[in-house]
A and B are shown apart, each in its own frame.
Chain A
Amino acid sequence: MAKTPEPKRTISLKPCDGDVIEVSPMIAKQMQTIQSFIEDDSFIATTTIIPLPNVTAFQLSKIIDYLNYHSNSKAVADNVKESTKKFDEEFLKELEHDKLKELLHAANYLNVKEVLDFLCQAVADLIQDKSVKFVRKFFGVVNDYSVEEEEDIRRTHAWAFEGVEED
């Protein structure tokens, strides 16, 4: 008697630049964008590979790492808090500015609230107390103000623009 195959317990995600990555339904559930795929009636979990054209393998694995770590450490004991803090710090340390920026995009695309909140905080911490020039460079934004407009903004709130770190 032929055995029915075990139902597949993972979701297959295909980043734009690498092999398929399998994630547990619990992790996939936290990615709102993927959740909508899964809830779609035509979705067959056993065969379908979800393509993620806007996310690289690096970004996807970072996000999965983060979710995995944090879903395993929900306890509130002090030593857990401490190691979570350490994990978060290490997580950010490995990211250059460009990578951090792109990861924020990926988290936004996948709509993973937990990672998004974490990365927004990281970016806010990074640009706090920094000059406008630094913020522009960090985000790669071109200054589209005319000299007069910019002077006007600075004059109106001069105190906000003085005494900040340039980089």
Chain B
Amino acid sequence: MSVEWIELPSEILESISKLFSFYTDYLRLRAVCHSWRSSLPKNPLHFPPQLPCLMLSPRAFFHLPNHKTHLLNLPEPSNGIRYCGSSHGWLVILDDSPNVRLLNPVTRETLHLPRVNTFPDVVSFSYSNIGREYLVANPRGGVHALNLNQMRNCYVKKIVLSSSPSPCLQNCDNFAAFAIVGKGQHSLGFCKKGHDSWGFVISDEMYCWEDVVYQNGLFYAVTKEGTIAVCDIYGYESPQVTVIQTTTPFEFCGDIYYVVFSGVDMLLVARNLEQEFDNNDDGGDECNLVYRTVGFDVFKMNWSEMKWEKIESLGDRVLFLGGNSSLCLIASDFVGCLKDCIYFTDDYSDSNYDDACGKHDVGVFSLWDQSIELLPCYPRNSYSRLGWPLPIWVSPNPC
């Protein structure tokens, strides 16, 4: 008895598709024929977090399992933009306008967050004040001017999202975005679904916020000193914030810090950079001051003593750090990534480190032998990427 498979009920096809853990398998199943494409939803909801790939620009991304650069060809400009966040598969994009755009590179959907000129400390914005388009108040009451580039590159440090903002999700009403902003990164801002402006949770010159992450209904921001702000923007009229002072061990002296949750463990990862002079590969006399990652230290929060304690191993876990919402995954769930490693990308922009040029610093740090292997994600001539945004990890998400 021969059966025409194509007549198989779509429920069965859907059951099979739901058993896939990798979105790539799903994409290929949808590409089989027209009827399969129409019976399998474009935005499947069942996928667990996928292995991140490194967005190099809207034109290309680097795929870890095969170490290849793939073309993406999003209908987007690749110049003049900055990725200031990547959460749940959505990139947060700033450009030379006050717009804050969310882009899902997989579905190509675009959404908007409130514009940057709606942050409470932005006094005014006008395109006609060329070179001083924004006037921004500092916590002491003074006002300073920022131009379009400065606003794009320096004002917003990072934006993280609580969940995918996709309207196809049932719980999308709980969506919120959280931002570290201000000239000295003194302020934490937030907006919830439906808001047309940003609010501040805290704006205080005492703190210089370094990273923020979302976990179980709360946003956790940290400073380089290890201070934690636990922010609850749900359930109250005004947002609640608790600042926790912590003790830190003597090794606590990184250049950049990232906060990430691994299950219930809160980790703070210190990234250590070294300055070096880079002779141009083309034999020119010019030397450029560049920064290079030389190592990482990982600390775990001991909540009973409010103390950061150094840990020597991540076990089966793997971290993805950079401009994205820091991500912790179980390495054995994926092909193409190593356990007990930190995959990092250069999220410190030229503007943060005035003299650093476009040399890239993207690699894999292995905790067990403290080694660093660079990822071959750019063509050899590192200057070919000038004008592209800094690369960022994105975990592909179909919704």
* Residues of A participating in the B interface, judged by any CB pair closer than 8 Å: 16-17, 56, 101-102, 104-105, 108, 116-117, 120-121, 123-124, 127-132, 135-136, 139-145, 150, 153-155, 157-164
Contact = CB atoms under 8 A, between A and B. Distances in A.
A132 B31 contact: yes
Nearest to B11: A108
A154 B31 contact: yes
9 contacts: A16-B1, A102-B3, A105-B3, A116-B15, A124-B16, A127-B25, A135-B29, A145-B33, A145-B34
Nearest to B36: A141
Contacts of B5: 101, 139-141
A57 to B, nearest CB: 11
Interface of B (DSSP majority class) = mixed
B264 interface: no
A132 B53 CA distance: 22
Q: Contact residue range for chain B?
A: 35 or more
Nearest to A130: B28
Contacts of B66: 162-163
Given A128-B20, A135-B32, A158 B70 contact: yes
Contacts of A141: 5-6, 32-33, 36
Contact of B73 (A121, A128, A155): A155
Interface of B: 1, 3-6, 8-9, 12, 15-17, 19-20, 22-25, 27-29, 31-34, 36, 53, 61, 63, 65-66, 68, 70-73, 106
A132 B71 CA distance: 20
Nearest to B6: A141
Most buried by A among B6, B8, B32, B70: B32
Nearest to B15: A120
A164 B19 CA distance: 18
A102 B9 contact: no
